[in-house]
Amino acid sequence: MTSRRESGRATGSVLFLLVLLSGVGAWNYHRNWTIEQQAEGHRPYQSYSVADIEALHAAYQGELNGVEAKFDAEKRKRVRPQGDRGSISGNVDQFAQTAATSKRIRAAAANVSVQRGEIAELERELELRASFGEGAMRHVKRLTSI
């Protein structure tokens, strides 16, 4: 009879320990999930697969090379103003040409900036996936990491 009583106490202790571990695990999971949500922020590529993100990254990188080449070409087309051309129409034409060149350079620089921003966003998504994991391992990491 005493062994039956002791086994009943052991069962109660094991159940208490399981409930305690489940509660601590749930609290830790929620804490890590909250930290992860704050760290992630807005993720436009969240629903994409890793292969798609890597393909997009390669495509944007290739496009960036072309856009940077265009930007460099536009900068090389820039000419220094020659000062007073002797007539108002000559000065106006020179100003219009300088303004148009500057506008093309700014547009090319904006394109470079956009491409670099997209590449940075793709790299951020890949980094988040590497640090937090994916699928079931992501949930295990949330549950067990302190």
Domain boundaries of the chain, sorted by first residue:
42-144
| pTM for the structure as a whole | 0.60
For the chain, give the longest Cα–Cα distance. Answer: 118
Between CA 80 and CA 72 the distance in angstroms is: 16
Q: Which residues, 6 or more positions from 138, have their beta carbon under 8 angstroms from its beta carbon?
A: 132
pLDDT in 10s for each residue of the chain, 146 residues? 566 666 666 777 888 889 998 888 888 888 877 877 777 677 888 888 889 999 999 999 999 999 999 999 988 888 777 777 678 888 888 888 889 999 999 999 999 999 999 999 999 888 877 776 666 666 676 667 77
Between CA 15 and CA 7 the distance in angstroms is: 12
Q: Two tokens at 67?
A: 């856009």
